[in-house]
Chain A
Amino acid sequence: MTPQDLRAMANRIRRRDLQAVYEAGAGHIGGEMSVIDILTALYFDVLNVDPGNPLDPDRDRFVLSKGHTACALYVTLAEKGFIPKEEISTFLKPHSRLNGHPNRTKVPGVETNTGPLGHGLPVAVGMAAAAKLSNAAWQTYVVTGDGEMQEGSNWEAIMAAKQFKLDNLTLIIDHNRLQQGAKLAETNDIAPIAPKLEAFGWAVQEIDGHDMDQILKALSPETVVPGKPRGIIAHTHKGNGISFMSDNVAWHHKVPNAEQYKQAMAELEEAAQ
């Protein structure tokens, strides 16, 4: 896909995500809008994954550690062909396999069950270590939230990744500066994050996490530094693409009413033109 195609895909995923959250009456729309450009770049440009063979031993691994934004992952997996697109309408419905956090035993394409924060990065370190042990070429990618980096388990994993020289591991931090109820800066301000990762021996880049060209460049093989895990601080906006949600902490898991839904959809449709 061209960057232009990827932008169109991200817009389509945003619209389907918005509709799903609206119809389900629940979801984490703010963090979904902030991570969708990254998910789109990964699934439609970077990841070597095959919906026809989701457990191929040589596939790339992707872990969405911020599991509460599962709806965005489901929509992306559906667009990629891992699950039927029609199934998105079952999101959060009784007995749907699409619950509020992704489950690898039920949803093809999901690698590990996330939801409690601070779990995805340690698991991704294990994946990358397994590839190294096997001399395998497949890559591991993990997306965390920025508030999530307050979890100590992430820093345990960050130390281990450097010790194990996991240059086949890429961590993307969705740095939208807002956590559930307040700004990161007002809660436990771990920003600036980049120097902290660098201090732990990682190769770090900072990008605009909504600029598709910057995302693709950051994820390209040329930015890998041998012997160092790769960290990408993606500066994003919670609720990105919808004016009244953008950078507004109220929209962590708020659900739009009919009028708000109409306006939000109109804005996304206009951006699609």
Chain B
Amino acid sequence: MNAVTEAVKLHDCRDAFTATLEAMAADDPRIVAVCNDSVGSSKLNQFRDRFPDRLVNVGIAEQNMIGVSAGLANGGKIPFVCGAACFLTGRGLEQIKADIAYSDANVKLVGISAGMAYGELGPTHHSTEDFAWIRAIPNIAVVAPCDNIETAAAIAFAAEYTGPIFLRLSRVGVPQLLPDDHRFELGKADTLRNGSDVTIIANGVLTHRALDAAELLAARGIEARVLNMATVRPIDEAAIVSAAEETGAILTCEEHTTFGGLGSAVAEVVVDMAPVPMKRLGVPGIFPPTGSENFLLDEFGMSPDGIAEAAARLMQRKA
């Protein structure tokens, strides 16, 4: 990319997560961290040093990790459960359904290195089904912050919020997009760029790419609205309907399979409430080939150029 982008500082959102968690834990003895051996990859070393009793490490046992967290919540704790998103969600899915969501346990699930953050480690370590899996379960919120600021704000929100929530974090560096004083609101999209020709909806590591794509489109005379839709469930219906009515076309971008994720959630609202042409970018329903996360996102048409091109093509379908 260009020289300006190269100069931008990139943030590992795990740092924002652990810094926020430690700050909250210092004030609230109910906050505990639960992990599956993943102290290092969840960046919990410092938390462990500061609050040794409050790091509940169950070992490599994800089903037990989720069940234990439900029990900790029953006992009055506020557990933040940290683990690689692929194992936390896939291995513990029935526990998430029965012990957390159905039981309405006040547990905060933090899926680390979600999407294709593990890159070359391959599809076993990718978590590109988690939106779909968790979104299909009642009574659990699904959130994918786009930068360090939104990560910290969403973690702080989760501690205050009573009820189950799944937060999906990456380890791949992203630029700061939101102002320092940004407050997270569940189920509310942020309009990061105004425009009336087309809307691009993204979250997680795709939001900054969507903004870059919008700049490329602007150079071609196309004004794209960009919505950062961190909350996948409950989805921001009003923002989607406004986007459909005011821009006439919606493009979604996500680090997730196109089956059942953000694009599907947006499409459900569009079909029911405001039908307009849509295109959903994501992992196209395959196990990705070998490559880094950024390589794979480009490969699946989600480079800024690829997103811009998809938006321009989508606009040709407008009535």
Contacts and interface: CB of A to CB of B under 8 A. Distances in A.
A191 B193 CA distance: 65
B77 interface: yes
A109 to B, nearest CB: 13
Contact of A126 (B53, B68, B102, B104): B68
A103 B56 CA distance: 26
A103 B105 CA distance: 12
A126 B98 contact: no
B59 A128 contact: no
Given A153-B63, A160-B61, A119 B95 contact: yes
B20 interface: no
B54 interface: yes
A112 B71 contact: yes
A215 to B, nearest CB: 24
Contact of A128 (B53, B71, B79, B98): B71
B74 A160 contact: no
A140 B74 CA distance: 11
A131 B53 CA distance: 12
B72 interface: yes
A153 B66 CA distance: 10
Q: How large is the interface on A (under 10, 10 to 19, 20 to 34, 35 or more residues)?
A: 35 or more
Given A113-B103, A115-B98, A156 B63 contact: yes
Contacts of A105: 102-104
A4 interface: no
B75 A156 contact: no
Nearest to A115: B98
Which of A114, A119, A123, A133 gathers most chain B CB within 10 Å? A123
State the main secondary structure of chain B at its contact with A: helix
Interface of B: 32, 53-54, 56, 58-59, 61, 63-64, 66-77, 79, 94-95, 98-99, 102-105
B70 A123 contact: yes
A119 B63 CA distance: 8
B54 A133 contact: yes
B32 to A, nearest CB: 7
B72 A114 contact: no
B74 A61 contact: yes
Contact of B68 (A113, A114, A136, A157): A157
Nearest to A158: B64
A44 B66 CA distance: 31
A118 interface: yes
5 contacts: A122-B66, A122-B70, A124-B71, A125-B64, A126-B69
A124 to B, nearest CB: 6
Contacts of A123: 67-68, 70-71, 74, 99
A130 B67 contact: no
B59 A125 contact: no
Contact of A157 (B32, B54, B67, B73): B67
Nearest to A67: B98
Contacts of A121: 67
A90 to B, nearest CB: 20
Q: Which of B70, B75, B76 has the most chain A CB atoms inside 10 A of its CB?
A: B75
Contacts of B32: 133
A195 interface: no
Nearest to B58: A160
Contact of B53 (A124, A133, A156, A163): A133
B108 to A, nearest CB: 14
A127 B94 CA distance: 19
A45 to B, nearest CB: 23
Which 6 A/B pairs are nearest by Cβ-Cβ distance? A126-B71, A130-B75, A122-B67, A156-B64, A126-B68, A156-B61
A47 B74 CA distance: 16
Given A127-B74, A156-B58, A122 B98 contact: no
A156 B61 CA distance: 6
